[in-house]
């Protein structure tokens, strides 16, 4: 059996033997997202007191709840989401951005080391891998929180499709063993991208197709974020990072 066929648990063991190759060290804060068409998005769940609001995972999660399940696959444990993994090859075009997220206990505010975050989002053109870009599985990945509860991803800035404010999706799991199906998630939510950076990115030539969609959106009218903007709006940093603290 090839190493790449042994699954996510084997990946973690291999990383441990190599001192995690630095993937689980020096991490920070980040965010989440969802699409509403096509197909039913699922229920809007009520958040636990003090926790980040629970949101639909949308129709493109690839978490076992809708057609595909990448959770548990070898290659998903990674910090760089820009390329496809496993048997699929390809790189998502777009402006690079770093996404950081700190997982904390909703009651005490203390970090949650060892918890797992699965992050996914659309590409530069507003399409999701596997479902809409069928020959790619990029812009999806899992990280394990470090001692400070931090996870970090390198990805590309997502596009803006009609009907939604630009966003990213995520699910949080207690540990890597649980990160195999959506039913095991402690939290499912989304992160809203800051308006200032959206306008800056969508003014670039390679993002031109997003400008009209974005100009029609209003964060305060978004059906996911309208009632929880202050909990889910990520912060933009001039070193090309977006960050968010996620109480679970």
**Is pLDDT above 50 for 219?**
yes
Mean predicted lDDT score pLDDT of the chain: 85
**Inter-residue contact 210 to 95 (CB < 8 Å):** no
Across residues 2-8, what is the average pLDDT?
A: 40
CATH architecture of 3-247: Sandwich (2.60)
User: Residue 182: how many CA atoms within 13 Å on its side-chain side?
Assistant: 22
pLDDT of 24 higher than 50:
no
Q: How many CA atoms lie within 13 A of 220 on its CB side?
A: 0
Q: Could you tell me which residue, 20 or 109, shows the higher pLDDT?
A: 109
Query: What pLDDT digit, counting tens, does each position of 150-194 carry?
Result: 999 999 999 999 999 999 999 999 999 999 999 999 999 999 999
Strands 140-144 and 116-120: antiparallel
More confident residue, 34 or 233: 233
- Locate the domains of the chain by residue range: 3-247
Q: Is 118 in contact with 186 (CB distance < 8 Å)?
A: no
Q: What percent of the chain has pLDDT over 70?
A: 81
Nearest partner of 241 among 31, 81, 53, 82, judged by Cα: 31
pLDDT score for 4: 34
pLDDT digits (tens, 9 = 90+) for 105-141: 999 999 999 999 999 999 999 999 999 999 999 999 9
Q: In what order do the strands lie in the sheet with 150-156?
A: 150-156, 96-104, 241-247, 235-237
Q: Report the percentage of the chain scoring pLDDT > 90.
A: 80
Cα–Cα distance measured from residue 81 to residue 152, given in angstroms and rounded to the nearest whole number: 10
Residue 49: per-residue pLDDT = 73
Q: Three-state SS across 107-160? A: CCCCECCCCEEEEECCCCCCCCECCCECCCCCCEEEEECCCCCEEEEEEECCCC
């Amino acid at each position: 059996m090839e190493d790449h066929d042994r699954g996510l648990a084997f990946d973690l063991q291999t990383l441990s033997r190599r001192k995690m190759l630095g993937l689980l060290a020096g991490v920070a804060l980040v965010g989440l997202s969802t699409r509403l068409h096509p197909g039913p998005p699922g229920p809007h769940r009520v958040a636990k007191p003090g926790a980040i609001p629970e949101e639909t995972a949308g129709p493109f999660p690839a978490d076992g709840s809708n057609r595909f399940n990448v959770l548990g696959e070898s290659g998903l444990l990674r910090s760089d989401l820009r390329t496809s993994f496993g048997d699929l090859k390809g790189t998502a075009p777009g402006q690079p951005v770093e996404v950081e997220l700190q997982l904390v206990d909703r009651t005490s505010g203390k970090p949650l080391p060892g918890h797992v975050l699965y992050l996914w989002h659309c590409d530069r053109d507003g399409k999701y891998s596997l479902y809409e870009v069928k020959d790619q599985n990029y812009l999806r990945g899992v990280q394990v929180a470090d001692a400070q509860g931090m996870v970090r991803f390198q990805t590309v800035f997502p596009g803006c499709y009609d009907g939604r404010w630009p966003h990213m999706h995520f699910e949080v799991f207690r540990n890597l063993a649980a990160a195999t199906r959506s039913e095991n998630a402690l939290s499912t939510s989304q992160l809203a991208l800051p308006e200032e950076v959206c306008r800056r990115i969508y003014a670039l030539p390679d993002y031109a197709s997003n400008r009209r969609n974005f100009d029609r959106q209003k964060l305060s009218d978004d059906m996911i974020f309208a009632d929880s903007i202050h909990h889910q709006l990520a912060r933009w940093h001039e070193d090309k990072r977006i960050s968010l603290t996620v109480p679970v």
